[in-house]
Amino acid sequence: GQIPIDPGTGSLVQSGIKAQARQVMENGKAILAAAGCSMGQVVKATIYLKDMADFGSVNEVYGGYFPADPPARATVEVSRLPKDVAVEMDFICWKGEGR
C-alpha cells in the first residue's frame, strides 16, 4: 500500500487529509505508470482510514482520479497505519485487454 510520503523529499505529507489522500493517489499513479499501467486500468482499490470521519474528504480526492467508470473499492477504518498516517491505499491493476 501507499502512504502519503513525498517521493522527492522522503517526508510525510502532514497538511490535512485531502493533501495526504492526493499524495497517496499521486504515488499510486506514478507506480502504475512505471509498470506500464494507468489509473484507468485499476480494477480494485482498498482505502484504509484511521478515522472514518475523513471518508468524505478522501472520497472527494479519490473521485477526481476516477471521473468515469471507477474501479471496485473497499474502504475500512483501522486502528493504526504505518508511521501513524491518516490514510493508506492499495490498487490492483489489470494490464491485459479491456477492463
Side-chain-side CA neighbours of 30 within 13 Å: the count stands at 11
Residue range(s) defining the domain that contains residue 74: 17-93
pLDDT tens sequence across 20-34: 999 999 999 999 999
At 84, which amino acid appears?
D
Q: Work out how many domains the chain is built from and give that number.
A: 1
Hey, is 55 helix, strand or coil? helix
Q: What is the pTM of this model?
A: 0.93
Residue 9 falls inside a structural domain: no
CATH at 73: 3.30.1330.40
Average pLDDT over residues 82-97: 93
pLDDT tens sequence across 67-78: 899 999 999 999
**How far is residue 55 from each of residues 31, 48, 63, measured CA to CA in Å?**
24, 10, 12
Q: Where do the H-state alpha helices sit in 1-99?
A: 17-34, 55-65
Residue 2 falls inside a structural domain: no
Residue 10 falls inside a structural domain: no
Residue 84 falls inside a structural domain: yes
